[in-house]
Structure 1
Amino acid sequence: MRSHKKGRTIVIASLLIVFAIAQGLIYFTHIGGKTLYISETSLFFSGILCWIILRATNYLEWNNLKRLKAELDVKILTERYTRLDDRSIAIRSLLKKVKKSEHKYQQLIENAIYAIYITDIKGNITDANKSMCNLIGYSKDELLKHNVKFIIDQKRSILDIHLVPENGDSEIIETCLICKNGQGVDVELDLTKFGDDEVFVVVRNISDRKRIEAELHEVELRFHTLSEKANIGIYLIQEEHFIYVNQKFAQIFGYSPEELTDIKTSLIETIITPDYHELVRQNIQARHRGEIDFVNYEVTGKKKTDEPIQVEFSGSRVLVNGISTIFGTMIDVTERWEKEKALKRYKANLQTILEITDTAYTLFDRQLNVTGFNQMAVSFVIEQYHHMPAKGDRLADYFPKERFPKFLEYANKVLAGGNVSYEISYPQSDGSLAWYYVRLFPITNDENEIFGIILALSNITERKNAEENLKAAYTKIHDHLNSIQDMAWKQSHLVRSPLANLKGLIAILRDDPEDKDLIDKIQIELQRLDDIIIDLANDASDNEKDG
């Protein structure tokens, strides 16, 4: 601008000089030493010249302005070009970064553990990674030809792309994808909308989770079914409160399940008698602290009516939703407890009986180790085996070795459920025999399981001696009877002979009653018969004396 103003000043000064000449201030000129006067015509042309010069000056000034504007435009354009060039460099750098980022993005998607696919707003699949292809068995090219509806089981779930949030939030949907082989796979779709025309979908295979959920549901169903049908009480405890009891548990105490689970106070105060409060509390707290895993104990409980009952608790510590919980069972043992009391009384009475009985009793386990005996058994073992019995003794250590195999045979028969009895003798120092009656029978529990043997030993020496005497007497009687039989045969034979003769003679005598010889013969036979009868009487008298 300064050069422009300076040029304009020079032009104006030149015009003023020309104008002064034109006005006659200078009317002459000197050419070759001569003075020439200028005419009006010359002045006219001088004016024309001034106008031309002025116009030329205006043109030059306008042209100079255009040049300056052009220079300014060039400068602005240069600056813009410079800025554009800088932007171009930045854009090229950004494009490189974008391409690099896209490459990383593609690599991340392609190598992602989860299956991923991308669709347009209509659900057409535009991209899918390797995991997605492996999941459903299609190649990438095959997937890109289809809409997402092609791979979704429409019977189980209808996927509506328009339900995906517009603000970039994700929508999680559970559905089933149909694989190329026709099988279904349970999945969880995490859908996120990008821009106006793309949906990014992360696919998580939840088949295992669904299987576990189904198994868990089945287990829970079985648990509740078994629990409600169980003949024992089942419970879950957190702190000192019931979170679950089955019908049997509540029934034993006279409550409904809801009443017990809704109780705000401690369960100990509700169903346990005061004498056992501390024991139950210690057992519960010890399991919650992890000091013990399992415990079994009996306490006296109380029903809703305050009636006391004997119950047996068994339980262990488990975690339910991360909370320490006691899972256990409970049975009403009142009847068993009463039986045990009666059994204790019975055992006391039995022990008294065993001590005053004349039968030796010894108890053995299945290995024939001594588990119990009475005083009579002690006396027998000392007398016959010269051994002081003790619990834990092995019978084989002092039982006569020649007799043990047979006894073992009897024992095996008893352990199989049979009963054995026999008589046995033991030689005494005076040469006599001591006889015993042995009985073996199994020891069983309430389930008829055999866990031992009872041996009962009775001294029958006196009876055996009596039997021997009876046998001797029987022998004598038998011999006497034999002699009587002989005598009877003799009587029969000897008596019948003269009688037969008499019968024949009498028949003859009827024919001739006067025959004296015949009468003499009859007399002889009668005498003979009389002698035989006298002999029989004498023989009977002799046998009676021998008896």
Structure 2
Amino acid sequence: MLIDQIEDYAIFMLDPNGYIQSWNKGAENIKGYTADEIIGQHISVFYTEKDRRENMPGKILSEALRNNIYKTEGWRVKKDGSVFWAHVVLTTVYDDHGRLAGFAKVTRDITELKKSEDQKILINAELERLVKINTDEIISKERRFRKLIENSYDGISLLDRNLQVFYRSRSAERINGWNDVERAVQPYESLVHPDDLPQVVATLNDVLEHPNKPMLSTYRTQHKKGHYIWIECLLNNRLDDPDIGAVVCNFKDVTDRVVAEEQLREKNKQIENILDSITDGFITLDKNFNYTYANRRLGEMLGLDSQWLIGRNVWETFPDVVGSSTYKAFYKAMETGQYVWNEDYYAPLNFWEESHIYPTPQGLSVFIRDITERKLAEASLLQSESNLRSVFENSEHAIILFDIQGIVVSFNHNASELAALHFHKELKAGLSAFYYSSPERKDDVLKMIESLKEKSSITYEVSYPLPHNQTVWYEVRWVSVLNNEKQPSGIILTLKNITEKKMADLERDRMTADLIQRNKDLEQFTYIISHNLRAPVANIMGLADIMQLNGVDGDSENGQALDALTESVGNLDKVIIDLNNILQVNNAANETLEMVSLPRLVDEVKTAIADLVVKNRAKISCDFSGISEMMSLKGYMYSIFQNLIVNSIKYKRAGADPLIGISTRLDGSKACICFKDNGRGIDLLRYGRHLFGLYKRFDVSVEGKGMGLFMVKMQVERLGGKIKVKSNLDEGTEFILEFPLKPVQG
């Protein structure tokens, strides 16, 4: 009743979220609302639109919550839309259980007091008015006032209608370093920081348009030394006052204050950014377990807006937690003042959390980590261990686990059987590896165990004799096991039976050696034939020539036989020559690899077949942008290029000059060379299978032996490459050669 009868103060209660719960007569007198109209509404109705956009009501409630009491002054809005200057005191109110019940708010209308204080600001301007009075009566007073102004810590400047300075106090030079003469020639636009100039221009225009209305502006201006300082300037248009006739500017250097405020904002922003960017949830609680801060990560973990939690009680917001391990840990940290670690499961969200709880003078700071995945992984690991044990026992390998000193820790059934079979000893945990080693092998085993401290693994093959002159082979692998500090902590020994593989390898080596020897024998046989037949064939050819010279009649029976013999011997000679050429190609594979320039190679081929190129008016274009040189056998490459270019010219299409395009490209680890022409083309459906065969010719209209493509394919394959062909009749042919970038020498 006492509060209700107070008429000069608005006294009312707010709930924790700022909604009005009570209303006295003083509130009705000051703000204009009746109790029925206002109870239940949010206090934001009393704030200006600008303050609401800046969430001033929420900030004031947060400050009151943080400090238990908060005082402030500012413009407030009445029911009729008018504003008044209010002095406001907010006090937090808690119930008997220590929970936040709301806020008590006391508001007083001090508009007249505000006007009185604002009037004081104009005193300096009034003092400047005395400068214009020239009568002897006030000279002494003018001197007194001038001394007051000149010795004022704040600077005072008077500006005319064109915003030119015609008077500056002594402090003005102290503040910005410019003396009166230097300042007089400086337009204000040149001194104001470019980023602040639009604001200053707008403020000055407002000052000129609104006489007698003080306006405050804070901006940067250039000091005489070249740096910028922050000044706070109070401007008042008194141009129409006959006693002043100027725009009065009271200003002071607020650089330290602005820098300190900026640093504080940056520091707070950095702290907020750090807390919002960490992977853990973070909250602060007051001593009543009410949220005073919650970072973004916590909101993500709980699936809500973290700001919604501010001011709310933990146990009321999450009643399922009451009595839990987390509940007890929070109270323990609050009561003992000591750090507490806790793990807990929150069933409503199927969520495992790890809490690090730190007591603070204000309450608690808590880091909350989501460990759900880890818990699921631990559960999965238990199952995995069971599965691994099953694999361990059912593996085809014999497996023994040793500690770093070579003591048996564990083993599977296969290992136990091998120990009994080859060492005639029972495998037991706790025994040393040396117990199962023969005397001559103990030094080797010791060296391997020592080596595993430096190496990750050692692999070798070993054999053991069996009855009936049989042998069993094993692949033995020693592997070092590292702990979390990357230090050796154990050894795994596996033995894999590779007897079948070993026997197959030995048989393969025997067959390979046999094939190599047979190939050498065939090459030797071919060499003997190609060389030893040359002499008898040459003799027969010589005898045939002599008989023809001695007058054997070509029309006679003997003459015809002689001609047939001469032709057969000539063909045999060509076969022997071709066989020699093939042998020379095989022998050329032993040449030294060198870097072959493809453009230069084409030039050499073109020079060698210049007559053929000119005669057929052939045009050869090259694009070696993909690769212009490669490591290879130059003799092979020259032969390949020459055969393919000559074939394209020889088998040109009737009525069309030969056009040959040679290009390269890289395809992964392969170099591709393409030869494309506009010639007759090849019927691949009909002749594709025999295209690269020896003495295979499919167009007899042009002279040839069927050796060229056979030689090209053989040389490409000797270089480790492949050859492909694309062709259509009367549309040309494209040969695609693929070589490994690291060539293979055949």
State the TM bucket, normalised to the shorter chain: 0.3 to 0.5
For normalisation by structure 2, the TM-score amounts to: 0.32
Q: Which is higher, the Rg of structure 1 or of structure 2? A: 1
Greater relative contact order (Cα 8 A, min sep 6): structure 1 or 2?
Answer: 1
The structure richer in helix per residue is: 1
TM-score by length of 1: 0.41
